[in-house]
Chains A and B, each alone.
Chain A
């Protein structure tokens, strides 16, 4: 009976596999401990009572949706920060590479080159500000 309930809960928590694994282990421990503490004497009746006291699997799983969304938002925030950091490192590495190879552009393209450099620099700063803003927003939720 407990295994059936856990299988049902697993199906309801299918939207977040890692959260599901963690929750199922906790719930199994809870149900087994509650059955052991039950004074009914009849194992299947004890299991039935314990599952009834635990509550509806769908209702419990629905409360985990918010937890899962917050976890995913945090992960997305960390991923965004890592991407920004990677872009920054790539940009710096590119500039260092140009300097090392003494790459030079012709006079006609110099104005275009400085404009591209300007966009390059402020694009990074803009993305950094947006990324930090998103991170603080996620942290405050």
Chain B
């Protein structure tokens, strides 16, 4: 399930500002309270895919360590995509919440 929503999770993590892969992972862990503990390497194919789709833009910078670092930023299209996915997710979440609210587990299921 998590993998199906990885793109939305990455876009949401980058909504706060530009970040490199490691920082994106840390942001996801921090904001999800550690609930999304996915293999860290899976973030990179997602970042490249989103960049290719024009939802992120990437640029090389130099870190304090002297290593080259690729920093990703949400594009306007990325912002729109995040807003769209957020709306769809909220609709889905409200529908499920409504469904669960109207149902009580039976005490003696058949």
Q: Do A and B come from one complex?
A: yes
Q: Quick check: is A14 within 8 A (CB to CB) of the other chain?
A: no
Tell me the smallest distance from the CB of A140 to a CB of chain B, in Å. Answer: 11
Tell me the smallest distance from the CB of A116 to a CB of chain B, in Å. Answer: 43
Interface size on A, residues (CB 8 A): 26
Q: Quick check: is A30 within 8 A (CB to CB) of the other chain?
A: yes
Interface size on B, residues (CB 8 A): 19
Tell me the smallest distance from the CB of B77 to a CB of chain A, in Å. Answer: 13
Provide the A8-23 mask, 1 if CB < 8 A to any CB of B, else 0.
0000000000010011
Q: Quick check: is A55 within 8 A (CB to CB) of the other chain?
A: yes
Taking CB atoms, residues of chain B closer than 8 Å to A32 are 65, 67
Taking CB atoms, residues of chain A closer than 8 Å to B63 are 29, 33
Tell me the smallest distance from the CB of B75 to a CB of chain A, in Å. Answer: 16
CA distance A58 to B70 in the complex (A): 22
Q: Are A27 and B67 in contact, with the CB atoms below 8 A?
A: no
Q: Are A26 and B49 in contact, with the CB atoms below 8 A?
A: no
Select from chain B the residue with minimum beta-carbon distance to A71. B52
The number of residue pairs between A and B whose CB atoms lie closer than 8 Å in the complex comes to: 71
Q: Are B45 and A64 in contact, with the CB atoms below 8 A?
A: yes
Q: Are A67 and B22 in contact, with the CB atoms below 8 A?
A: no
Of B45, B52, B69, which is within 8 A of A60 by CB? B45
Select from chain B the residue with minimum beta-carbon distance to A36. B65
Q: Quick check: is B40 within 8 A (CB to CB) of the other chain?
A: yes
Residues facing A in B18-33 (CB within 8 A) are 20-22, 25
Tell me the smallest distance from the CB of A103 to a CB of chain B, in Å. Answer: 48
Which A residues are closer than 8 A to B by beta carbons? 19, 22-23, 25-30, 32-34, 53-57, 59-60, 63-64, 66-67, 70-71, 74
Considering the complex of A and B, which 7 residue pairs feature the smallest CB-CB distances, nearest first? A55-B39, A63-B45, A55-B41, A60-B41, A54-B41, A30-B22, A67-B48
